[in-house]
Amino acid sequence: MVLKYIKEIIFTFITVVGTLGNTSVFVNYMFSWWGNPEKKSVQLILIHLAFTNIIILLTKGLPKTVAAFGLRNFLDAIGCKIIVYLGRVAHGLSICTSSLLTVVQAIIISPRASRWSRLRPRSAWHILLFFLYFWILNALMSMNLIHSITSTDLNMSQRKNSNNYCYLMQENQEIEWIFLTLMVLRDAVFQGAMGGASGYMVFLLHKHHQHVLYLQNSNLLYRTPPELRAAQSVLLLMLCFVFFYWTDCAFSLIFSLSSRDNTLVANTEEFLTLGYATFSPLVLIHRDGLLVECWHAQWEKLRRCHSHLNVQ
């Protein structure tokens, strides 16, 4: 009973904190992006990442929170298909968007004389084409769920896996392996690109660090460019992504190979699926002073407006 209450509290906490954090990132970067004449590609990607995280938290975290409080059978068959399908699509979008963020940031900080600088997006609107491709790709790769997902009101003998509110029915093994292979291939390709871009950024940041040490030894002042500070934030995001992704994979493998029902492993795996969506906005809020500045600017506007009304 105590573990049940702890699960309720943790699910509610991470869902609320994650949703509020991603909403803050989404709104602030949206205002910054629209208000800036120079549209930055990285800001647009972060907006999409925050939107994707919100979908993950609403489709996975919110129903699990409701189910953790004991409310079962609150979704019908159509509701289950929509919720689980959007959750799978958003999970794929998170991987693709995180990879695109790393690659674009690596291109931005690359020296202008390098061949990678030629790949720099000329307009932030070109990023929208990648988003369209990601949505179509992940929507098609999750089509099997429309047939195999159903609600909890079916016969117990037909159920394969439970996530407390919807069930995954047994489907054709060949179709299941095809979609599983496609998802593994997608993850391998995008994480490979993410790893290569991250390694390149680490190399460039190391060169920058050596340059700073040289200037300091020469008694010269030097400030870190905004692009390099943004690259450090992106690298921290990628470390967060890699940690939660592979830890989630490890716990999922342990749970699937376990011969008995391990509630602790199952609950931990459920929490890990929401980890990146919850902590990534906190990383941005902590690392990016723009968010704090935006809130401060809005507060100053309200204070001046209030003072002006009082004077009148």
Model pLDDT for residues 48-63, shown as the tens digit of each residue = 999 999 999 998 888 7
Q: Collapse the DSSP code of 169 into the 3-class scheme (helix H, G, I; strand E, B; otherwise coil) and give the result.
A: strand
- The pLDDT tens digits of the residues spanning 233-270 come to 888 889 999 999 988 888 888 877 776 666 777 778 77
* Structural domain boundaries in the chain: 2-311
Q: Which residues contact 150 (CB under 8 A, 6 or more apart)?
A: 77, 80, 81, 166, 167, 169
- The pLDDT tens digits of the residues spanning 79-119 come to 888 888 999 999 999 999 999 999 998 888 887 767 776 77
Sign of CA dihedral 295, 271, 234, 94: negative
Q: Tokens 């690359």 sit at which residue?
A: 110
DSSP states of 92-121: HHHHHHHHHHHHHHHHHHS-TTSGGGGGS-
> Could you tell me which CATH number the domain at 2-311 has?
1.20.1070.10
- The pLDDT tens digits of the residues spanning 126-137 come to 889 999 999 999
Highest average pLDDT, of 95-99, 174-178, 214-218, comes from 95-99
Quote the tokens at residue 311: 């004077």
pLDDT, residue 307, reads: 56
The amino acid that residue 205 corresponds to is L
pLDDT band for position 310 (50/70/90)?
low
CA distance to 94, 185, 189, 192, 274, per residue, from 61 (Å)? 15, 26, 27, 28, 7
Give the residue ranges of DSSP H helices in the chain.
Answer: 2-35, 41-56, 62-68, 77-109, 127-141, 144-148, 173-217, 226-257, 263-273, 275-287, 289-311
More confidently predicted of 301 and 208: 208
Q: Collapse the DSSP code of 288 into the 3-class scheme (helix H, G, I; strand E, B; otherwise coil) and give the result.
A: coil
- Torsion angles phi and psi, residue 169, rounded to 5: -80, 155
The proportion of the chain whose per-residue pLDDT surpasses 70, expressed as a percent, equals: 72
Taking residues 182-199, what's their average pLDDT?
Answer: 93
